[in-house]
Structure 1
Amino acid sequence: MNNLLKVEELAMFLISIYLFTFLDYAWWIYLAFILTPDIGMIGYAVSTKLGATTYNLFHHKGIAILVGFVGFWWMIPELQLAGIILFGHASMDRIFGYGLKFGDNFKHTHLGNL
């Protein structure tokens, strides 16, 4: 993946950390939950198509922004946290080249093949 894209994703990851500082949670909560979106990989236990669908559900930045927006709009701290974690995790994954998945193979992503 292009280094410029990695820097962009790093900036978005840092934005998620910055936004987290506005929430009323201890700092370790971010660390404790940053890997939880990988629960979406459980779909791969059934099939690659279901795995790609569940993985993408937990790694789509649009969904993360929507969850966070709803949380901030209605002042629901749990949704605020979930949106920030989903967004930060997706950015972190993309720094390492893991993109949204296609249904044919785990290694086939929108960023190319792993």
Structure 2
Amino acid sequence: MKNLIKVEELAMFLLSMYLFSLLDYAWWVYLVFILTPDIGMLGYSVNTKVGATAYNLFHHKGIAILIGFAGFWWQLPEMQLAGIILFGHASIDRILGYGLKFDDNFKHTHLGNL
């Protein structure tokens, strides 16, 4: 099952790269911003509850899709970029086994324990 999830997440990551290619940005922009959603981990410097909430906010694919669609709807390239980056980053994390966090421990995720 874990391999099937990884293949599915790889397909979503490739989708994010395709959607990015539709934007008018150089490819280095994708590479520069793909790790920015990890800024959500700074919440763990407060406590695990704040950390999990912040992390999940920056790694939730539903939020990424809403931001991306809003950007396409309103023709806002920066918002389109943000949604695509959030979506692609979340897919990379899922491939690596990092899921959305429970508030008791950073290693306790919806995909199991790290």
TM-score where L is the length of structure 2: 0.99
The whole-number CA distance in structure 2 between the counterparts of 1:98 and 1:2 is 12
Give yes or no for the alignment of 1:108 onto 2:108. yes
How many pairs does the alignment contain? 114
Shift of 1:83: 0.2
The whole-number CA distance in structure 1 between the counterparts of 2:88 and 2:7 is 14
The whole-number CA distance in structure 2 between the counterparts of 1:28 and 1:11 is 21
Deviations 1:42-83 (A, max 9, x none): 000000000000000000000000000000000000000000
TM-score where L is the length of structure 1: 0.99
> Map of 1:22-41 to 2, 5 A cutoff?
22-41=22-41
Structure 1 segments unaligned to the other structure (5+ residues) = none
Partner SS state of residue 107, structure 2: strand
Deviations 1:14-46 (A, max 9, x none): 000000000000010000000000000000000
* RMSD of aligned Cα (Å): 0.6
Percent of pairs with identical residues? 82
The whole-number CA distance in structure 1 between the counterparts of 2:73 and 2:18 is 18
Partner SS state of residue 18, structure 1: helix
Name the amino acid aligned to 1:62. G
Name the amino acid aligned to 2:81. L
Number of the residue aligned with 2:66: 66
Name the amino acid aligned to 1:85. I
Structure 2 segments unaligned to the other structure (5+ residues) = none
The whole-number CA distance in structure 2 between the counterparts of 1:56 and 1:5 is 19
Off by >3 Å, runs of 4+ in structure 1:
none
Greater strand proportion: 1
